[in-house]
Amino acid sequence: MTVQPPNPFPPRPIPVQVAFDRRELAVILALYGRMVAAGDWRDYGISCLREVAVFSVFRRTAENPLYRIEKRPKLRHRQGMYAVVGMDGQILKRGPDLKNVLRVLERKLIRAVE
């Protein structure tokens, strides 16, 4: 009879909700700060749900979001887990790298400044 030692790497618990980590929020909030300084955005909201985390950007507080930055970990191995969705629900950019995905909004900032 052999006795097995305890597992040094116990299985991770399945998260109850998806959320942005500190690194992701730093990238998003840096873009948000530049857009607020340009006068394009005024408010934001964060939703952490079971399968998706959403950072919504608003021009005014009481309207629909201009853009939604979504994180869907289930799509990590397919199209990529990050997406920028427009006001009409159209996916503007999707990919595995958050900085790359947010470039679609950076271009709108550059056009607004010019």
pLDDT tens readout for residues 15-40: 678 888 899 999 999 998 988 888 88
Q: Is residue 7 part of a domain?
A: no
Residue 14 domain flag: no
Residue 84's domain comprises 22-113
Q: So what's the pLDDT on residue 20?
A: 87
* Pair 106, 99: CB distance under 8 Å: no
The answer on pLDDT for 109 being more than 70 is no
One-letter amino acid of 32: Y
Read off the pLDDT of each residue in 59-81 and give the average, rounded to a whole number.
83
The pTM (predicted TM-score) of the whole model is: 0.76
Q: Taking a C-beta distance cutoff of 8 angstroms, is the pair 50, 56 a contact?
A: no
The token pair at 114 is 């010019």
pLDDT reported for residue 70: 92
Burial of 1 from C-beta contacts in 10 A (0-12 / 13-18 / 19+): exposed
d(CA 37, CA 63): 20
